[in-house]
A = this chain, B = another copy of it.
Amino acid sequence: MVTLKEIAQLCDVSPTTVSNVINGKAKTSEETRQKILQVIDETGFKPNIMAKGLRIKSSRTIAIIAEDLAQFTSPPIIESIMEACEQKDYRVIVHNLRLYDRWQDTWYNKKGDYNSVISPVINDILSAQIDGVIYVAGHARVIKTFNDNFELPVVMCYAFSESSDIPSVVIDDEKGSYDMVSYLISKGHKRIGFVGGRMDNLHTVQRLMGYQKAMFENGLLFDPNLVYYGDWSRQSGYDGASVLIKQNVSAFFGIADRMTGGIYDYLYENEIEIGRGISVASFDNENISEYFKPRLTTTELPLREIGKRSAELLLNKLEKKNADGIEESSDESEDSNGIDVIKVPCRLVIRDSVTSL
């Protein structure tokens, strides 16, 4: 097989010039560029991607670290990151930690287990020719995997970082919940049962905050007895409904479609007609929600959008770095700790499970 060096000799230029042309760098005259491309074409030369990484500074390759590819949130995020990278001619390598696959939802308090899985991946990324990293979390929390001195640019997607060097792109849980509860209130509902996930989960905390703000702004008392903490499972939705129904609620707000499936189960079992006797709203807009009877009114997670924004953030950073040789100073808004957080709004999906009181 012909080598890059031989191409250079055939064209009477330096190997660096050939490399620049292959990598689209505009430092070569058009005449030389055409000549080199012609010789590459004639000789059937295939640039060796791996060797290329060793020779030039930027490999135009980013790594995605997914906490679990099979979480329903991951594929749309990853797919839109890939789309954005393709448009800018970046390659993407996907690492999959398989955290839920290994340990279901028990892993996130086991630091040792997590470290045993993330460490080899970080080593891989650091010893390969990778320009930057997007970390795709399985659920929102503060992730401390990368310290301030981490040597590559990182963007945190669907979770929060604790480093001022690492921006986060998350969904706006609080606003999404606020919008849904405001919608329920606009339909006349005042006693709204809130079926949350685990109490210390950030999605739960922020969605409850949105609920409370909507109640407050409408001059409605917040009754803590209307809050039930489940564990995201369908069974816990069922249990929540059976508890809250005694509080004389006219509507349920389950904050995950799968859990809301359990609320439906309870109402079906007790022959309480959904959308007439009682209204039900939810969060996620998973594909299951379209198959509920009646079809579920829910809140769409902007998964493709947070993927796209994460990719844009990282690629802009890399392009600026390439152009200037210096790190970009971000234009994005910062929170009180100086950490960039981009919150992407959710969209209400109005179907048939909420009606006027």
Contact A79 B101 (CB under 8 A): yes
* Segment with Cβ contacts to B, from A10-18, A33-41, A122-130, A333-341: A122-130
Contact B70 A75 (CB under 8 A): yes
Instruction: State the majority secondary structure of interface residues on A.
Output: helix
* Segment with Cβ contacts to B, from A137-145, A209-217, A286-294, A317-325: A286-294
User: A50 contacts which chain B residues (CB < 8 A)?
Assistant: 50-51, 53-54, 127-129
**Interface flag for A76 (CB, 8 Å):** yes
User: A94 contacts which chain B residues (CB < 8 A)?
Assistant: 93-94, 96
C-alpha spacing A47/B126, complex, angstroms: 10
Chain A, range 48-76, C-beta contacts under 8 Å to B:
48-51, 53-54, 68-70, 74-76
CB distance from A268 to the nearest CB of B (A): 6
CB distance from A316 to the nearest CB of B (A): 22
Contact A101 B83 (CB under 8 A): yes
C-alpha spacing A75/B124, complex, angstroms: 22
Contact B79 A123 (CB under 8 A): no
The interface size bin for chain A is: 35 or more
C-alpha spacing A288/B261, complex, angstroms: 10
User: A92 contacts which chain B residues (CB < 8 A)?
Assistant: 96
Contact B49 A51 (CB under 8 A): no
**Interface flag for A78 (CB, 8 Å):** yes
C-alpha spacing A76/B126, complex, angstroms: 28
Map CB proximity to B onto A69-112 as digits: 1 under 8 Å, 0 otherwise: 11000111011001100000001111010100100000000000
C-alpha spacing A238/B284, complex, angstroms: 26
C-alpha spacing A70/B83, complex, angstroms: 12
**Interface flag for A46 (CB, 8 Å):** yes
Contact A79 B96 (CB under 8 A): yes
User: A234 contacts which chain B residues (CB < 8 A)?
Assistant: 290
C-alpha spacing A90/B112, complex, angstroms: 22
User: A78 contacts which chain B residues (CB < 8 A)?
Assistant: 69, 96
Contact A98 B79 (CB under 8 A): yes
CB distance from A264 to the nearest CB of B (A): 8
C-alpha spacing A64/B129, complex, angstroms: 20
Map CB proximity to B onto A233-274 as digits: 1 under 8 Å, 0 otherwise: 010000000000000000000000000010010001000000
Q: List 10 A-B contacts (CB under 8 A).
A: A48-B54, A48-B128, A50-B51, A69-B69, A69-B79, A75-B75, A78-B96, A79-B98, A79-B101, A82-B98
Using CB atoms and an 8 Å cutoff, list the residues of chain A in contact with chain B: 46-51, 53-54, 68-70, 74-76, 78-79, 82-83, 91-94, 96, 98, 101, 123-124, 126-129, 234, 261, 264, 268, 286-288, 290-293
Besides the contacts A287-B288, A288-B291, what 14 more A-B pairs have beta carbons closer than 8 Å?
A: A46-B123, A50-B54, A51-B54, A69-B75, A69-B79, A70-B76, A79-B96, A82-B96, A83-B98, A92-B96, A94-B94, A264-B291, A264-B293, A286-B287
The 3 closest A-B pairs by CB, nearest first: A70-B75, A50-B50, A94-B94
